[in-house]
Amino acid sequence: MGGSGGFFKPPSESIEELLDKNDESNTEFRKELNSYLISLLTGYNNRDIEGINQHLNHLKEIISRDLEGLLELKFGGSISKHTYVNGLSDVDVLVTINSTSLSSSSPKEIISTLAQKLRNKLPKTKIKEGDLAVTITYSDGHEVQLLPSKSTFQGIKIASADGKTWSNIIKPIKFAKKLTEVNKQNNGRVVPIIKLFKALNNTYDKDGRLSGYHIESLAIQAFKNYKGNLSYNEMMKHMAQSSSTSVLSPITDSTGQSLHVDDYLGDAGSIKRRQFSNNLKRTFKKMRRAEITKSLSEWKKLIDGD
């Protein structure tokens, strides 16, 4: 009979053995990836807080001495929530007025006074006056915002959006408690994910970056009912995917500082919100592709931006 004369040679390994090898390879890659993410977190924890605390303590000395103890510093923002990452501009320090001589001053007047005192003591440091705060940018990449605040029997007030008057009562502790609760529900993994996501966010173009407070709020949305895997890589993927949807709608600001934590993105479904959503969708797809191809270098690009 005609034919090629060839014959079928059965594979030397069974399908089951090949699948087992693939599972082993996937497991090994996930271990390698999570080790990398843990190493980043270790670096953030060891390096960033030590550096920022030095700056904060120095600021406290300057303000206490030069303003004769009339102002009291209360750490807010990412320092109080343990979500700070170097250079990501979300260290807020509330400068609380205790003196009757300053009680009638407007936020703008206090901001101007603060800025002038700091320029005198830190002549080589970049100091900028804004409507809400004095921003100090250090040469090592750390950035601190000093927000004038006013204590009342009802709570704390900060500057209004235009800086001319005082805001409604704000409740920063309420948000911090919610974040702590969600973090605890997820075995303490949400705060580390926020740190990693802030680093990832910093690789976006400046106009496409989420605020630190917004990232923290998106993390609460993503993980308040999370039942998935608690490995860092899986939680990072979930954060990106969940946030790509959540970012399309405003999130109510539980602190009372403003109506929404993400007013800077406009109304629900705005062009800007859709742009941010698309950024996050692309990030999720890159994470998935890096995992499928077992490419640690692609994951590193997402966070390091190299």
Residues 193 and 76 placed together within one structural domain of the fold: no
- Looking at the domain assignment, is residue 237 inside a domain? yes
Boundaries of domain holding 70 = 48-170
Q: Is residue 24 part of a domain?
A: no
Does residue 190 share a domain with residue 89?
Answer: no
Domain endpoint, select from 135, 153, 170 = 170
Looking at the structure, tell me whether residues 165 and 196 fall in a common domain: no
Do 193 and 265 share a domain, yes or no? yes
Shared domain for 178 and 292, answered yes or no, is yes
> How high is the pLDDT of residue 32?
94
Give me the residues paired with residue 151 across strands. Answer: 156
Say whether both 65 and 113 belong to one domain: yes
Domain boundary among 143, 170, 197: 170
| CATH number for 84 | 3.30.460.90
Q: Which of 242, 198, 202, 207 is nearest to 222 (CA)?
A: 242
Looking at 210-280, which runs of residues are DSSP E strands?
none
Is residue 150 located within the same domain as residue 199? no
Q: Please give the tally of structural domains in the chain.
A: 2
Residue whose C-alpha is closest to residue 294's, from 32, 10, 39, 37: 32
The last residue of one of the domains, among 170, 203, 237, is: 170
Q: Are residues 161 and 180 in the same domain?
A: no
Contacts for 186 with CB less than 8 Å, ≥ 6 apart = 223, 226, 230, 235
Q: How many CB atoms sit inside 10 A of residue 76's CB?
A: 24
The reported pLDDT for the residue numbered 81 is 47
Q: What is the residue-level pLDDT of the chain in tens, covering all 306 positions?
A: 445 555 545 555 555 554 455 567 788 889 999 999 999 888 776 655 677 778 888 888 888 776 655 555 555 555 444 544 443 345 567 777 666 666 678 888 888 888 998 999 999 999 999 877 888 988 887 888 888 877 777 777 777 767 778 776 666 677 778 888 999 999 999 989 998 998 899 899 988 988 888 898 899 999 999 999 999 999 999 999 999 999 999 888 666 555 557 788 889 999 999 999 999 999 999 999 999 899 999 999 998 866
Residue 19 falls inside a structural domain = no
| Residue 60: predicted pLDDT | 83
Asked whether residue 177 falls in the same domain as residue 242, the answer is yes
Contacts 24+ apart (CB under 8 A), 17-25: 25/294
* Residue 105 and residue 120 in one domain: yes
Say yes or no: 177 and 298 in one domain.
Answer: yes
Predicted TM-score of the model (pTM): 0.70
CA 121 – CA 129 distance, rounded (Å): 16
Task: Give the length of the chain.
Answer: 306
Tokens of residue 157, six digits = 């007030």
- As given in the structure block, the two tokens for residue 118 are 């700091």
7: in domain = no
DSSP helix/strand/coil, 146 = strand
Q: Is residue 125 part of a domain?
A: yes
Axis-axis angle for helices 232-246, 271-292 (nearest 10): 160
Q: Return the beta strands (E) in 29-132 as ranges.
A: 71-75, 91-97, 126-129
Q: Is residue 273 part of a domain?
A: yes
The verdict on 194 and 120 lying in the same domain is: no
